[in-house]
Structure formats: structure tokens, C-alpha cells
Amino acid sequence: MTRDFDVAAGVASGRLDVYLAAELGWSRNAVTTAIKSGRIVVDGRPAKASQPVLEGETISVAEPVLPDVTSPPQSLSLPIVYDDADMIVVDKPAGIAVHGGNAQSTAGTVAEFAKLHTTDLDPDRPGIVHRLDKETSGLLVIAKTAAAKADLQHRWQQREVHKTYRLLVIGRVEEDAAIIDLPLDRNPAIPTRRAVHAAGRPATTRYKTLAVYPGYTYVEAYPETGRTHQLRVHFAAIGHPIAGDITYGAPKRPLGLTRHFLHAAGLKLVAPSGKPLELASPLPTQLEAVLRQLEASA
């Protein structure tokens, strides 16, 4: 199978091996090996690991067909919040990735689950419309057909889908309601992460405070854009990283957390059928326990 990556405006930067390691979830050594074996080409030409990634290029990666040693799709079950002929909405637990590292490693992921519910979609590219980080729980939309996927993606691009997140951040947030408007780009030092960058893509988050506890603020956030790690980077950038998010500045995992405290709690959109939907997901047990612990100590 061949995967193509079209380098979009504002993404071009750095070496090819670094870029592909971030996109594919491979090690740089694995990318270099694939380049040397001729499995990676840029605009149809042989590639070099050190060459720069340029806007407008198409990078093609021929992935080897591996024996199917994964567990069957039935091994993963997810709570279903909404289901119709076009789409399904699941309540993803923390600890489950949306995608695997490559097309042959989808076992235990939402992508594996999605294959059971799609019809005319490529099984290697099932109907995942948006993503949640592995440690983030909550509502996730899966399209069942190619037409539904195109419809939903258009609604996302037009910002017609409204998402609500609940999160616990470290420290007392200064304003009870505010907007964070900080552009984001890849972290040049660690390409799998994101960072605030003046030349990055626009990113806007609205939020309001729900409760204040000693050392923490419980927040409801509404991302108006959908950048990778947006809420995690935005709150870290204003000095209030999400509790448990050691990737973006939280010093440790407090209060019995085994994950970061970020939950996709609400989703409002119009389904491909034209039906208005307003869906909700309650906080997982662990996050509820954290709030009870904080309330008891207040």
C-alpha cells in the first residue's frame, strides 16, 4: 500500500526524515531505511533523508504488506452514543489511540473499531473525521460512508461543529472567561509536539471557569479551531498546563491521575441526514474522583 502526503502551506520545514517520523509515527532510523530501500519518493523522484520538505511536494511512502498478526476487529468495543445510517459517535476511553503507528498496526485503536462500521471507505483509511489524543477521553465521530465522511469533513472545515471540553488546569486562571488566540506550529526541536509560533496556523480557544480549587482551576473550553494538541498547548502557554499533562509542562501526575485531565464532553452539529444533534459525555470515573477529592480539600 502507498500513502501520499501533500505538503501544505505553512508545514514545510526541516528534514524529510524528521517530518516523516512525526507523520508516520516511525523512528528516524526506520524512515531512513525505507528511503534507502527506495520505498519513499518525493514527486516521483528518489528521496534523501536530509533533503528539505517543501510546500506543494507529494511524498509517497510504500509500506510493506505485513502478515496479519493483529487481533480481530471484534476485540475492541467502544460505547456508542449515537448511531444512524451515515455516522456513529463513540465515547472513547482514555488510553485508546485513534490511529495506529502505520496501516498494519491498528489493533486496539478506534480505526480498528471503525472498520466494522464502514461500507464504501478504504479499510486502511476508515471514516475517522477528527481525532482525540490517546489520553483524551470523550466524544468522537466516525463516518460510515464516503459521502458522509465528505459531508462531515466539510462541516468541520466550515467550523459548523461545536465542541466542548472539560479540563483541570494547574493554578488559578486569572480570568473567569477569556479567549486564547495564539498560532500553533510544530515544535522544531520535537516535531511530534506543537508550540506557539508567530508564523504558525491560527488557533483560537474560548473558555470559562467552572470551579476554583486550591492549586487548580476546573475549566470548560470551546476550541474554535482544531489544531493538534490545541488545548494542551494553549493552556500551557498561558501558564496553566492541564493537570497530568507531563508532555506540556505539568510537573507530575497528581491526585491519583494516570492520564491528563482532558475530556471531550459535548458535541453539537448537524448530521449528514440533516438532523441536529447535541450530544454529551459524562466525566469518566477517575476524573470525577479527582474533582471530589479537590472539593473535599477546599
Instruction: Tell me which of 133, 151, 185, 245 is the catalytic residue.
Output: 133
Instruction: Using alpha carbons, list the distances in angstroms from residue 172 to 212, 240, 270.
Output: 7, 8, 36
Nearest-5° angle of CA 183, CA 249, CA 255?
A: 130
Residue 15 DSSP symbol: B
Task: Measure the CA–CA gap between 147 and 135, rounded to whole angstroms.
Answer: 30
DSSP SS3 for 142: strand
Q: In terms of residues, how long is the chain?
A: 298
Task: Return d(Cα 146, Cα 152) in angstroms, integer.
Answer: 10
**DSSP per-residue string spanning 119-140:** SSS-TTS--B-S---TT-EEEE
Is 185 considered catalytic here?
A: no
Q: Which residues are catalytic?
A: 133
